[in-house]
């Protein structure tokens, strides 16, 4: 018998990983969030996939050899059928990566923001929180639950979440997981209200949560995935951490950052040419698929361009394709070529492209096209390159013919 630890034997499966956004609704209203409808948005809830539709897609994914599903949102635990879908996926032999704010796991700690309350409802939610935590302990997800943390104090957390009581509720939910020894990873978003709390957060993550890896920070916040709110997009863009500061945060542990940059240098540097999906990510091969809350398959959660979207649940008279057909369609994305002149002048010739987050998804959320450079990401990448000693001030990665020598000398 051969044992496989810590890795799934996905090389032979047609679909390595599935992501399902179970809902776009969330019980927080975070200042930086790119996908959050109000928790009580009845119209959105009514459009969401039903339990049987979602479980049917899980069946199809299993038939394609998929062994991992990510449940995300919005806040996936808002779905009343979360436990059912979770167990369904686990009984199909999938491991389940859960992205959550943990509030619903602790929802006897405080009220849902803005909601009226009564004793019966509060008791029901407490049972829900305990039941969810018990379920994750009894039937482990096989991969750590990823909990987003927005601050170390109620004032900072709730300045981000904009929901009174959310800090205590999320902490209580997290504690319930830790009490039950459910593995947890916390992720942070570096924002003005919590900017001074990095040390406290990292100490807490290490000593209380038990994390052995450094906390990761979201800093280059994505604009609205649906491109539906220009006002919110402007607010999100204003919250992005300045490129040089972002690079400094990434390099705060200089040794591990140097090691990571050496790895990038060894594997990823070099002009990519006009191949649009240049990073070789699974989304460009059809081996990873995201399904939104309403049954539309996409190469990833951010690429919502209509011609890269496949309905896998029939709605409003529209016929549905199978998940296998969507996978087959996305498998051809690696053939797409960029046509934007600025992209061809800069990104296609930039030796830093493998370090840069520029991709069709980021271009889509930022510009509504797949191949237009995102200036902020370009600035972030150049800031990192300067910090690494690869570039001088005002130099650009697309006009640096001796880049190999510089990287070797750094």
Partner 1 sequence: MSESEVDRVTLEGVYVVSDDVVAREIEGEVVIVPLAAGVGDADDELYTLNDTAIAVWRRLDGQRSLRDVVALVCDEFEVRPDEAAEDVLGLVGELARRGIVVRVPGA
Interacting residue ranges for partner 1, rule: CB under 8 A: 1-6, 8-9, 12-13, 62, 65, 67, 90-95, 137-140, 142-143, 183
Q: Identify the H or E element spanning 130.
A: helix 119-138
Region of residue 310 (left: phi > 0; alpha: psi -120 to 50; beta: else): beta
Strand duo 216-218 + 184-189: pairing: parallel
Nearer to partner 1, 40 or 210 (CB): 210
Nearer to partner 1, 10 or 108 (CB): 10
CA distance 264 to 192: 30
Nearer to partner 1, 91 or 127 (CB): 91
CA distance 84 to 139: 12
Q: What are the beta bridge partners of residue 222?
A: none
Nearer to partner 1, 96 or 269 (CB): 96
Helix (H, G, I), strand (E, B) or coil at 23: coil
Q: How far is the CB of 92 from partner 1 (least distance, A)?
A: 7
Q: The tokens of 355 are what? A: 């370090």
Q: How far is the CB of 68 from partner 1 (least distance, A)?
A: 10
Q: How far is the CB of 320 from partner 1 (least distance, A)?
A: 25
Q: How far is the CB of 203 from partner 1 (least distance, A)?
A: 26
**Quick one: CA dihedral 135, 141, 143, 148, positive or negative?**
negative
Nearer to partner 1, 96 or 291 (CB): 96
Q: How far is the CB of 2 from partner 1 (least distance, A)?
A: 5
CA distance 392 to 247: 15
Place of tokens 């004032």: 155
Q: How far is the CB of 13 from partner 1 (least distance, A)?
A: 6
Q: The tokens of 360 are what? A: 């069709």
Nearer to partner 1, 135 or 261 (CB): 135
With beta carbons less than 8 A apart as the criterion, state whether 81 and 293 touch: no
């Amino acid at each position: 018998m051969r044992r496989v630890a810590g890795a799934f034997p996905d090389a032979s499966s047609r679909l390595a990983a599935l992501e399902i956004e179970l809902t776009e609704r969330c019980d927080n209203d975070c200042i930086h969030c790119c996908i959050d409808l109000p928790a009580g948005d009845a119209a959105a809830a009514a459009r969401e996939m039903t339990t049987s539709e979602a479980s049917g897609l899980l069946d199809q994914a299993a038939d394609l050899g998929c062994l991992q599903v990510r449940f995300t949102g919005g806040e996936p635990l808002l779905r009343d059928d979360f436990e059912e879908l979770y167990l369904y996926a686990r009984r199909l032999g999938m491991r389940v990566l859960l992205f959550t704010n943990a509030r619903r796991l602790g929802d006897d700690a405080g009220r849902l923001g803005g909601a009226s309350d009564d004793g019966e409802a509060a008791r029901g939610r407490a049972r829900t929180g305990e039941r969810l935590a018990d379920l994750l302990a009894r039937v482990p997800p096989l991969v750590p639950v990823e909990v987003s943390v927005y601050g170390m104090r109620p004032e900072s957390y709730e300045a981000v979440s904009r929901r009174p009581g959310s800090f205590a509720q999320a902490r209580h939910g997290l504690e319930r997981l830790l009490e039950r020894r459910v593995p947890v990873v916390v992720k942070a978003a570096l924002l003005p209200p919590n900017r001074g709390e990095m040390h406290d957060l990292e100490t807490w993550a290490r000593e209380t949560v038990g994390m052995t890896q450094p906390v990761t920070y979201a800093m280059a916040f994505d604009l609205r995935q649906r491109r539906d709110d220009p006002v919110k997009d402007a607010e999100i863009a204003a919250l992005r951490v300045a490129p040089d500061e972002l690079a400094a945060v990434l390099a705060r542990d200089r040794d591990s950052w140097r090691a990571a940059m050496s790895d990038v240098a060894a594997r990823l540097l070099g002009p990519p040419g006009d191949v649009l999906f240049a990073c070789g990510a699974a989304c460009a091969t059809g081996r990873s698929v995201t399904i939104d809350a309403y049954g539309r398959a996409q190469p990833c959660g951010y690429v919502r361009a209509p011609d890269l979207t496949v309905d896998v649940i029939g709605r409003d008279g529209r016929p549905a394709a199978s998940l296998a057909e969507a996978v087959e369609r996305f498998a051809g994305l690696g053939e797409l070529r960029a046509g934007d002149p600025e992209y061809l002048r800069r990104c296609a010739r930039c030796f830093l492209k493998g370090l840069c987050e520029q991709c069709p998804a980021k271009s889509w959320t930022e510009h509504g096209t797949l191949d237009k450079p995102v200036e902020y990401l370009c600035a972030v990448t150049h800031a990192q390159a300067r910090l690494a000693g690869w570039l001088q001030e005002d130099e650009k990665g697309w006009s640096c013919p001796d880049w190999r020598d510089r990287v070797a000398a750094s």
